[in-house]
Structure 1
């Protein structure tokens, strides 16, 4: 009888010491809660939650996480948490995550996304307990040639356009260099052969508890709360939208499987199937369908910096090498987001936390 991936994840992460950078962010909060439910000993390293309200606070996630509030650019503070936590697995999510903010402050974006990654890898190199490392980047690392219908593949050129995307391209290259220079068998230094290094390039994530500015689904929720119509500036732009649990589970799979099968080590696209790469307008229509009365949107001309019109990932490698497959399509992703949002608006923090746990358990149980 074959063992399910859910059972394999539970067996691997129960009692395992895991450090999550960026733990107080939207993805980091979901990831910390999932690791806690799997039985891991979770340490977190991040700035204070980036939004008010935040999922981190709503679900009281610090209760289950050994959390340090500090900047990823602070190497000494980072070294201290590695020394104290002695992690076996490190999942690096800390970043300046917004394209528009990177135009406003490119220096901070590069310092955080590039040198932050260097700092984490320096700590991994110096910490003998670390066996598995995953660097989380983005679908925007590729040189975008605006080719309709084409899903970017892992061997396509890395050259993000804006400072955010480009800094994440650089972060990828940093991880690749460290993997070859310091961690590969026979490489330089004491860490040779000790730790597996991979990167994951995820698509646009949606889910309950995202309160960030300039993201389509949080903007939908804010429009409903304010009683306003949502203004959409690029209704025909295509993005690989997926529920936040899709990439998060793949991160846990990569970090586990690369220890069991060294050939898994590498870089992966984690995006939806072709049918779930939809336009912004189609996503707004799905939100309207699941929300019901009270949500409307308009298309308007809004001036802003360059954004890609077409962006899609080819997820073939993740399917073939990891055995990973999407569980919830974009329709289910919006449905689950609306479910969480209504739970929070109507039932408060306790109802939102219960919904969070319920959705994590439901997703894991539905995995093949």
Structure 2
């Protein structure tokens, strides 16, 4: 059975991906920080800070993986503005530490690095769905750190490590932090329905257009990309995108339609990003051609599940 080391296993995507990987036949060694993992999910748990090169090297040596997925990152854009040093130390040096650990302890492992669509930044201003050949023009510390990490992975791949870079677009779903836009909407609606918040939903820029995917579809794409381990001619970098543009206002309207209480909407200046761009949509042709993957879950289904999740969370909150 292939052994897969998953960094960032305690995060939103990591928890969901663990089960999907197991169903796909992988033994999952989950690597997280000091947070106690949920019991009974991964096959094995290891704990270390990826900024600690020695501890990470030991963890990779202990895991002896055949595959690696490197999810661990500071991924919240506003946090990257507030704590740029932590962002760079985690996203860049943490990635370098992992690459060195894999090179020394598991040089035959296939490594998948999920970067981010945020790397395209100002390139989105063309209004055209970006391809993997579009030059990154990051507009925030998170995106800049992901570009730097991408170059580190490319260099190690050039030197002989086997792997691939993914650029996932906005993925959403149950269990996502309310720091992210759709989860914030769903949580506020659930609180309003429960009488725990005034019937006013606070929002940022609703005119922005984004490319949304269900997190389950993204996990499926990651699993398909792992299959490239035996394909020496695979592309080095692939977008994971729906290829469809969705205005955030329209996404909010879909959520509001699922509520039976009157809710007004109010702009909150604190929720506006200093570098917000009007349109961010990705071209997924290369991924489809390379793996056969395509998104399978309708946005309406994702939003329904997201709202039900926050309703359940609200009902269980003391």
TM-score, scaled to structure 2? 0.89
Q: Indicate whether 1:241 and 2:237 are aligned.
A: no
Partner of residue 119 from structure 1, selected from 89, 97, 114: 97
Instruction: Report what 1:187 is aligned to.
Output: none
Instruction: Report what 1:41 is aligned to.
Output: 27
Q: Distance in 2 between matches of 1:302 and 1:173?
A: 35
How far 1:100 moved relative to its partner? Answer: 0.4
Give the number of equivalent residue pairs.
309
Q: For residues 17-53 of structure 1, what are the alpha-carbon distances to aligned partners after superposition, in whole Å with 9 as ceiling and x for unaligned?
A: 110000000011111121233342111112245xxxx
Q: For residues 192-228 of structure 1, what are the alpha-carbon distances to aligned partners after superposition, in whole Å with 9 as ceiling and x for unaligned?
A: xxx4211000011111111242x11221233122334
The 8 Å contact of residues 143 and 157 in structure 1, kept in 2 or not, is answered as no
Partner of residue 122 from structure 2, selected from 137, 144, 149: 144
Partner of residue 17 from structure 2, selected from 31, 37, 43: 31
The 8 Å contact of residues 72 and 78 in structure 1, kept in 2 or not, is answered as yes
Q: Indicate whether 1:218 and 2:187 are aligned.
A: no
Is the alpha carbon distance of 1:146 and 1:38 closer, same or farther for their aligned partners in structure 2, counting shifts above 3 Å?
A: closer
How far 1:129 moved relative to its partner? Answer: 6.1
> Alignment partner of 1:167: what SS?
helix
The 8 Å contact of residues 88 and 129 in structure 1, kept in 2 or not, is answered as no
Partner of residue 278 from structure 1, selected from 235, 240, 246: 246
Is the alpha carbon distance of 1:81 and 1:300 closer, same or farther for their aligned partners in structure 2, counting shifts above 3 Å?
A: same
TM-score, scaled to structure 1? 0.78
Q: Which runs of 5+ in 1 are unaligned?
A: 1-14, 50-55, 184-194, 349-368
> Alignment partner of 1:313: what SS?
coil
Q: Which runs of 5+ in 2 are unaligned?
A: none
Instruction: Report what 1:207 is aligned to.
Output: 173
Instruction: Report what 1:69 is aligned to.
Output: 47
Instruction: Report what 1:102 is aligned to.
Output: 80
Is the alpha carbon distance of 1:131 and 1:43 closer, same or farther for their aligned partners in structure 2, counting shifts above 3 Å?
A: same
> Alignment partner of 1:33: what SS?
helix
The 8 Å contact of residues 142 and 169 in structure 1, kept in 2 or not, is answered as no
The 8 Å contact of residues 102 and 162 in structure 1, kept in 2 or not, is answered as yes
Aligned residue runs from structure 1 range 1-368, under 5 A: 15-49=1-35, 60-61=38-39, 63-128=41-106, 130-147=108-125, 149-180=127-158, 182-183=159-160, 195-213=161-179, 215-223=180-188, 224-225=190-191, 226-228=196-198, 229-256=200-227, 258-274=228-244, 277-290=245-258, 292-294=259-261, 296-303=263-270, 304=272, 305-342=274-311
The 8 Å contact of residues 125 and 277 in structure 2, kept in 1 or not, is answered as no
